[in-house]
Amino acid sequence: MANTYQRIETKLIHAGEPRPRIAGAIALPIFQSAMFEYAGEASYHDLRYIRLNNTPNHLTLHRKLAALENAEAALVTASGMAAISTTLLTLLKAGDHLLAQSCLYGGTHDLLTRNFKDFGLTFDFIDADDCSSWRAALRPNTRAIYVEAMTNPLLEVADLPGVVEFARGQGLISIIDNTFASPINFRPIERGFDVSLHSATKYLNGHSDIVGGAVVGRAEIIERVTHKLNHLGGAMDPHAAFLLNRGLKTLALRVRFQNDSALAIARFLASHPAVARVNYPGLESHPRHERARKLFDGFGGVLSFELKGSSEQAEALLHRTTLPAIAPSLGGVETLLTRPARTSHAGLSEGDRSRLGIADNLIRMSVGIEATEEILEDLARALG
């Protein structure tokens, strides 16, 4: 069923949906039932029970998400962090070593730096832009390499084809967090990654009203992650699954609008005298613009910028805007502004932040689907 539809816009609506429709319902109903009648299932993992992530709402999402990234299989989880932690704890065992991109989402960074040792796991951060440096970081027990499609909050685009080639050459599992790109802009499995992860909280759902996650990849890997998730308990709630499926239907419309709007806003900011620097891979001035253009179908809805001024001035600017909400997170229909040093990357030490280039006056913007002109007017007023 997953491969019946050709184009991503059609897959978003129809892929994985039960046919014939259940009781003729055009929208898949919510299966708010913790357990289902025993129907002769042979294995524990096949019993139908919400924690085993296999109600019709879950199974529909699994088929749809696999189809969107042209993967064999997919799995939804209770949050993006449940997807990330369960995948890493499935693919790594005590004694194993991971290579990870140095500028990671704050939660993933904390998982590695604070929790990994409790599981007997080790890691090294690598400059994911410089493939010549990776071999020196390899150890005999290195099992996997972990990167993000675009980094948060600096929007760096690593040497992703290099990561796949290196992983294949060294027998490592390649894992990418594809949250920022979404399957509209990037489909990592097509490019040879073994596993693609998402915080479904962001673009996939797109309405800032659930937390969720997804793991996408080969069937054999997804089955192993599923069994681990069944034991760790990070299942998605059926109501969240219903909302995620509803949100997914407009993913292409939302993300393409956000791509265009973010590019226009990035161009405006880059030409503004009060702005010192803009990070957005769609700008020709971005150091990896060419790479991003080759890899991605769009540059995404997130950008960040530094003011010519202090962190207090950056904070004041946030509060002079009237349209965006001042909030962390991203990928929703409403425009959000945040200062990463105070929110998503507050868990990092000041030294770590400055080593990664995350200035205290850096502002991150997640562009929503409001009229671009109104966001520009609001920004112009606040900057003026």
Contact set for ligand PLP, span 205-244 (CB under 6 A): 211, 213
Nearer to ligand PLP by C-beta: 2 or 65? 65
Contact set for ligand PLP, span 83-122 (CB under 6 A): 105, 107
Write out the catalytic residue numbers.
51, 105, 177, 202
The set of residues, in sequence order, having a beta carbon less than 8 Å from that of 308 and lying 6+ positions away, is 273, 274, 275, 276
Positive or negative torsion for Cα 329, 331, 334, 339 = positive
Find the binder of ligand PLP among 69, 96, 159, 177 (CB under 6 A).
177
Interaction of residue 81 with ligand PLP, rule CB under 6 A: yes
CA distances from 66 to 102, 214, 228, 330 (A): 28, 10, 19, 23
> Using CA atoms, how far apart are residues 298 and 214, in angstroms rounded to an integer?
21
Nearer to ligand PLP by C-beta: 152 or 259? 152
Interaction of residue 321 with ligand PLP, rule CB under 6 A: no
Q: In a 3-state reduction of DSSP, which class is residue 282?
A: coil
Contact range with ligand PLP by CB under 6 A, out of 77-85, 128-136, 293-301, 369-377: 77-85
Alpha carbons within 13 A on the beta-carbon side of 338: 20
Interaction of residue 79 with ligand PLP, rule CB under 6 A: yes
Interaction of residue 179 with ligand PLP, rule CB under 6 A: yes
Interaction of residue 340 with ligand PLP, rule CB under 6 A: no
The answer to whether residues 66 and 216 touch, using CB atoms and an 8 Å cutoff, is: yes
Q: How many chain residues touch ligand PLP (CB under 6 A)?
A: 15
Nearer to ligand PLP by C-beta: 213 or 247? 213
> Using CA atoms, how far apart are residues 279 and 259, in angstroms rounded to an integer?
14
Find the binder of ligand PLP among 90, 199, 321, 338 (CB under 6 A).
199
The set of residues, in sequence order, having a beta carbon less than 8 Å from that of 92 and lying 6+ positions away, is 98, 119, 121, 143, 144
Interface with ligand PLP (CB under 6 A): 79-81, 105, 107, 148, 152, 177, 179-180, 199, 201, 211, 213, 329
